[in-house]
Amino acid sequence: RTLSPMEKKYPAIAGKEKGPGPGRYGLPPTIGFVGHDFTKPTSPAYSFHGRISNNMLSLDSSPGPLYHVDAKITRFGKDGTPAYSMLSRMKTQKLFSTPGPGTYSPEKAPPSNLQRRQPSYTMGRRTRYRTVDPVPAPNKYSLPPLLGSHIPNKRASASYSMLGTFSTGGPSEDLAKTPGPCRYNSTDPSVYRPRQPAFSMLGRHDVPKDKTKKPGPGTYNPENVTAHKTRAPAYSMGVRHSEFVTPLVVGFSD
């Protein structure tokens, strides 16, 4: 606009010319691959594939788990261990019908080798014991024990016995009245060796207190300042100063 002759013209202040803020500048991003800042190293970037259409899912493009892989097939080929199977019973051939042991009847055979009849055997009963010579059983004998020194014709080892407790003159009765280890007093090592530093813990000291009464904050009345002054102090809010005013420099030292 044009200035009127009555208006005062002030010089332009460079500080009032505000430039654009940090958000006005568009730096290249450091994330991703497209438009990446070429001054920064680029890391591997991965992308998510788009959703497959439903038509592709409905198509049967793979056979699925229809193939049966035999357990004998390995990555080196077929397993070479011998395998055996149990076959059914073979049919009996009439050409080779061998009779079993129960087919024969040797008792019906006629006498041979000039014998009147075929040999026969029977199982006899238990014979009775004879009362003339009753032989004792093994448990009837009792051998003498080998423990102790009562067998004259056997070597005996040393045998010991445990006697009873003596009431008079035994170890349990102290006739000499000998004092035990607890009767002796132990000597302080500081008596016959260099004394070590000793410390003691004193009792708790009472905090020194001033027993005079002090007034609290509520005792004071700052509103009664007019008793010795003309009026209470008052404060006002001043004008806003320009941030472009040159400060007053009175003097400075080199």
Say yes or no to pLDDT of 107 above 70. yes
User: Which pairs with CB-CB distance under 8 Å and at least 24 residues apart come from 216-221?
Assistant: none
Q: Residue type at 201?
A: M
CB atoms within 10 A of CB 193: 8
**pLDDT tens digit sequence for 44-59:** 777 777 777 666 555 6
What is the pLDDT, as a whole number, of residue 4?
61
Q: Which residue has the higher pLDDT, 71 or 191?
A: 191
Contact 235, 6 (CB under 8 A): no
Full-model pTM: 0.16
Record the tokens describing residue 210, joined without a space: 């001033």
How many degrees, rounded to 5, is the angle at CA 226 between CA 221 and CA 228?
Answer: 100
What is the pLDDT, as a whole number, of residue 221?
82
What is the pLDDT, as a whole number, of residue 105?
81
Q: What is the DSSP secondary structure assignment for residue 30, as one 8-state letter? A: S
Cα–Cα dist 147/63, whole Å: 89
For residue 190, give every residue at least 6 positions away whose Cβ sits within 8 Å of its Cβ, in sequence order, or none.
Answer: 196
